[in-house]
Amino acid sequence: MQPLEIKKDIFWVGAVDYNSRDFHGYSLSPQGSTYNAYLVKDEKNVLFDTVKAESADTMLCRLQKVIDLEKIDYIVVNHVELDHSGSLPKLVELCKPEKIFCSVMGKKSMEGHFNIEGWPIQVVKTGDVVNIGKRNIHFVETRMLHWPDSMFSYLAEDKLVICNDAFGQNIASSERFADEISRSALDFAVKEYYYNIVLPFSPQVLKTLELVKELKLDIDMLAPDHGLIFRGKEEVQYILDRYKTLAEQKPQKRALVVYDTMWKSTKKLAYSIASGFEDAGVPVQIMDLKQNHHSAVMTALADCGALVVGSPTHNNTILPTVTGFLSYMKGLRPQNRIGGAFGSFGWSGESVKIISEWLESAHFELPVEPVKCQFVPKHETYKLSHAMGKTLGEALIKKCQN
């Protein structure tokens, strides 16, 4: 339960949850998550964010190894989501802070979650500055990144941004800094987090990155509320560039074929379509929705400019796993993709029409007609499904070149 000094008189006092397996609807297995909170010791001692309620004692243990709780003067609430504010009522009771800083929407969120009568809340906005002694806290609102209340806290003298959920990852480990793990593991965790949490807010990400440029913030550390901390100019630039790339969603020359199947006819079509992509020179990945969680499919989609979805017709519709994935994906609003539908049927055959409608409603381009077969694929159906993959592959290559 040791705190960690990340800069002079600035301490990480959060909690690591090794056993969490579900995070906002996506699977963390085998990873857990981290709930980061930060204490700054100055003439005014400031706690930035808290942890979820069940991790409160862990945070309190770390805090008390650095400071007496009653000496915490201010609490900054960058984000009111309960994994970061669940311990707030307990902290307010124990610390009796002079002030609690939050955004306008942060106050509204706190009113919705807690009984804040008597709390010394002070609302701040972009451009507001609070002096705490040797340091100044500059507040920057980042609305809808990823909640309306979200904001950054910039400590100019330390070149540090405490950035709540932005730039986070779900990594449960004893390491605290991003440069302490392999780049491939870090990059996967960043991508997974972005594509399952931040993706719908990509326009806000790009605006925030531009705002950081406009404000000319000198940053050599980014401290998110989940996962590892980025220290040093090179690490900070890595994550800023990575977020820009993820937010822009430029088409990539890779395809993803996703399906569920009853008696393997739809599976056979999936592999035939994949072979068409291969013949077009497009790398392809196949994922069975019975074997892969929808969040894993979304993470794979991060690297793919084409998505082809298949299901047999089941009760005049599509299989529940396919419905669940399509609903989950539509809410995350991926952009700049092409798509296609395929499936098998016994007597009615509605599945490909339903999948096509889902993809159209999610703003996928559908450059080819769906492919379906009755009962078991025959030679002619294999020719059609292979041609579908090849045509989609050629369309994707063209899209990537534009």
Give the residue numbers marked as catalytic.
24, 79, 81, 83, 146, 165, 193, 226
Residue 142's Cβ-count burial label (10 Å; 0-12, 13-18, 19+) is: buried
Give the integer Cα–Cα distance in Å for 339 and 337.
Answer: 7
Cβ burial 56-92 (10 Å sphere, 16+ → b, else e): bebbbebbeebbeeeebbbbbbbbbbebbbbbbbebb
Q: Which position has the token pair 């006092």? A: 13
Give the integer Cα–Cα distance in Å for 223 and 165.
Answer: 10
Q: Beta partners for 316?
A: none
Paired sense of beta strands 33-35 and 38-40, if any: unpaired
Give the integer Cα–Cα distance in Å for 244 and 187.
Answer: 14
Give the integer Cα–Cα distance in Å for 42 and 276.
Answer: 63
Task: Compute how many other C-beta atoms are within 10 angstroms of the C-beta atom of residue 219.
Answer: 18
Paired sense of beta strands 129-131 and 136-141, if any: antiparallel
SS3 letters across 86-101 = CCHHHHHHHHCCCEEE
Closest CA to 225 of 94, 383, 90, 77: 77
Residue 327 CB partners (closer than 8 Å, separation 6+): none
CB 4 within 8 A of CB 12: yes
Long-range contacts of 121-130, Cβ-Cβ distance < 8 Å, separation of 24 or more: 124/151, 126/151, 130/74, 130/101
If phi > 0 it is left, if psi is from -120 to 50 it is alpha, else beta; for residue 249 that is left
The CB-side HSE value for 336 (13 A sphere, CA atoms) comes to 21
Amino acid letter at 208?
T
Distance, first Cα to last Cα, the chain:
53
